[in-house]
Amino acid sequence: MTIKTYSVPNISCGHCVMTIERELKHVAGLQAVKADKDSKTVRVEVESDAVLPAVEATLVEIGYPPV
């Protein structure tokens, strides 16, 4: 298992958090996701590093690109 925390500066509200968590749950190999509006981070637990590009692509696709 791999745990990674992304900085996502444009998380600004609870709706952003819900959207990110809902959309990332569709990524194959994702085990857990937690978005936080206060720290503007997204923490994911994935089966392996091979899943991370799909997580990052999904974040970009839904309008929350990590930096």
17 part of a folded domain: yes
48 part of a folded domain: yes
What element of type H or E holds 34? strand 30-36
Task: Tell me what pLDDT residue 32 has.
Answer: 98
Tens digit of each residue's pLDDT (9 = 90 or more) over 9-48: 999 999 999 999 999 999 999 999 999 999 999 999 999 9
Please report, in angstroms and rounded to a whole number, the separation of the first and last CA atoms in the chain. 22
Q: Which domain holds residue 22?
A: 2-61
Provide the domain count of the chain.
1
Task: Tell me what pLDDT residue 65 has.
Answer: 98
**What CATH number did the domain enclosing 17 receive?**
3.30.70.100
Task: Tell me what pLDDT residue 12 has.
Answer: 96
Task: Tell me what pLDDT residue 30 has.
Answer: 98
67 part of a folded domain: no
